[in-house]
């Protein structure tokens, strides 16, 4: 229970990696704010955490809407942990990606985390403590032919993480990026893209959401107090080979 008396916001926590992170943080004692857009799915995650003896509540917000982001920041109040997980991916030829989807990709994957850190990190710095985890991707490091725009958003996340570490770490706020490789959706069959990417890793398999959540939980723990500005690949060795 090393996160007891810590308040955490996990964006995009109603499914997948975000859901696993919320559950793991609650298991470690954190009071978790589960963010998403679907109240029914959010209620399921909150109920699972409460049933296990943890603390959680759901807050809805559309992170494509800057006004909704400001409302979310005001509603959650002071935080000890922020996990910027919400976002989406688009895979396909560059010449087939229209400007509207390009802009939506950057709004969700880059602008929203930027605004959340801008609204939450100064309060952490004023209190002298805090941990922010940005969920990146191996595609931000390696070139994938069908992911130019998506990879650019994740490279931007890693760059912002380094800049934020330089900006806030002297005030006690640690900021790190966790960069997953292919991840099998919980309870679902993997897509053809995930199956194909899994074969390119050194371990020849996709990760589970829990394997990503384990790393996030470590990075916000007392065992990681000298880690900041880092990009931690959790990609089965894909960026190493």
Catalytic site positions = 150
| Distance in Å from the first CA to the final CA of the chain | 37
CB atoms within 10 A of CB 145: 10
Per the document, the length of the chain is 241
Question: How many CA within 13 A on the CB side of residue 27?
Answer: 14
Distance between CA atoms of residues 204 and 91, nearest Å: 21
Cβ atoms 212, 193 nearer than 8 A: no
Contact yes or no for 212/20 (Cβ under 8 A): yes
- Could you give the CA distance from residue 79 to residue 111 in angstroms, rounded to a whole number? 20
Question: Which two three-digit tokens encode residue 180?
Answer: 């997953």
Provide the 10 A C-beta neighbour count for residue 62.
14
Do the bridges between strand 130-135 and strand 173-180 make them parallel or antiparallel, or are there none, so unpaired? Answer: parallel
Residues 6 or more apart whose Cβ sits within 8 Å of residue 40 = none
């Amino acid at each position: 229970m090393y996160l007891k008396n810590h308040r955490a916001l996990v964006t995009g926590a109603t499914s997948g990696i975000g859901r696993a992170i919320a559950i793991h943080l609650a298991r470690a004692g954190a009071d978790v704010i589960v963010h998403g857009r679907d109240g029914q799915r959010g209620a399921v995650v909150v109920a699972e955490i409460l049933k296990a003896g943890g603390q959680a509540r759901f807050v809805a917000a559309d992170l494509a809407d800057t006004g909704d982001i400001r409302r979310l920041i005001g509603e959650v109040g002071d935080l000890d942990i922020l996990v910027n997980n919400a976002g989406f991916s688009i895979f396909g030829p560059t010449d087939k990606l229209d400007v509207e989807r390009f802009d939506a990709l950057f709004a969700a994957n880059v602008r929203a985390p930027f605004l959340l850190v801008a609204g939450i990190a100064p309060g952490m710095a004023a209190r002298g403590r805090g941990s922010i985890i940005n969920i990146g991707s191996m595609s931000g490091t390696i070139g994938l032919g069908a992911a130019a725009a998506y990879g650019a958003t994740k490279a931007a996340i890693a760059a912002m993480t380094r800049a934020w570490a330089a900006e806030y770490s002297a005030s006690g706020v640690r900021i790190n990026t966790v960069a997953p490789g292919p991840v099998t959706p919980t309870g679902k069959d993997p897509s053809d893209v995930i199956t194909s990417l899994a074969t390119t890793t050194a371990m020849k398999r996709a990760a589970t959401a829990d394997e990503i959540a384990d790393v996030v939980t470590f990075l916000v723990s007392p065992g990681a107090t000298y880690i900041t500005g880092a990009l931690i690949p959790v990609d089965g060795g894909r960026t190493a080979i």
